[in-house]
């Protein structure tokens, strides 16, 4: 069992922690590992590029389906590749109640956040069926996916409202922000 799995069991219970067991199965997929090895041995390609290529191919196959749940696994696959090639998780130390903004976030990274300080999670990429979304629901953390429409500049300390019901992210809200 992985450290992420054990940590998730302690924080969430077995059902949500099974996300990490499923992610580990992908990492142990012999067909995927063989493809990575083949790409590296075929020529001028780095291990990082081979991983990205093999994972992208797997994600592309999943994304072809009409089923939203299966399509969301494509994002999960891409997140796994990023975690491997980046070599580290993006940890954020929340010293005060905060809304976390990110291009994307993996379940492993979400689990590292202090739930007591995490008011909401807003990403540009993702799916409401993704492992991150499932884990956010298990942690009772509001999760909004903006799909590129949110301005993600330097917003440290800015006030904002996340309304998942309306699918809205409002920066510097005033009395006219909501009808």
Q: What is the pLDDT of residues 25-79, one digit of tens each?
A: 888 999 999 999 999 998 778 889 999 999 999 999 998 999 888 888 888 898 8
Q: Phi first, then psi: give them for residue 41, nearest 5 degrees.
A: -75, -20
The dihedral of CA 45, 84, 141, 127: what is its sign? positive
CA–CA gap between residue 108 and residue 85 (Å, rounded): 15
Question: What are the tokens at 67?
Answer: 């089923």
Mean pLDDT is highest, among 2-6, 44-48, 117-121, 143-147, for 117-121
What pLDDT is attached to residue 75? 84
Mean pLDDT is highest, among 6-10, 18-22, 27-31, for 27-31
Q: Which residue has the higher pLDDT, 90 or 123?
A: 123
Task: Output the pTM of the full model.
Answer: 0.76
Which segments of 43-67 does DSSP mark as H helices, in order?
A: 47-63
Strand partners for 143? 121
Give the mean model confidence (pLDDT) for residues 82-107: 81
Q: Is the pLDDT of residue 151 over 70?
A: no
Q: Which residues contact 49 (CB under 8 A, 6 or more apart)?
A: 39
| Predicted confidence (pLDDT) per residue in 97-136, tens digit | 999 888 888 888 888 888 899 999 998 888 888 889 988 9
């Amino acid at each position: 069992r992985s450290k992420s799995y054990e940590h998730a069991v302690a924080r969430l219970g077995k059902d949500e922690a099974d996300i990490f067991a499923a992610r580990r199965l992908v990492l142990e997929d012999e067909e995927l590992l063989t493809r990575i090895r083949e790409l590296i041995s075929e020529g001028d390609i780095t291990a990082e590029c081979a991983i990205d290529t093999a994972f992208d191919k797997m994600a592309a196959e999943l994304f072809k389906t009409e089923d939203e749940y299966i399509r969301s696994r494509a994002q999960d696959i891409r997140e796994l590749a990023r975690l491997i090639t980046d070599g580290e998780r993006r940890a954020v130390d929340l010293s005060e109640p905060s809304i976390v903004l990110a291009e994307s976030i993996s379940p492993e990274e979400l689990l590292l956040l202090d739930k007591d300080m995490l008011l909401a999670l807003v990403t540009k990429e993702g799916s409401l069926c993704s492992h991150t979304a499932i884990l956010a629901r298990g942690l009772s953390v509001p999760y909004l996916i903006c799909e590129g429409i949110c301005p993600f500049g330097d917003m440290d300390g800015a006030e904002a409202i996340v309304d998942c019901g309306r699918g809205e992210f409002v920066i510097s809200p005033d009395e006219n922000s909501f009808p």
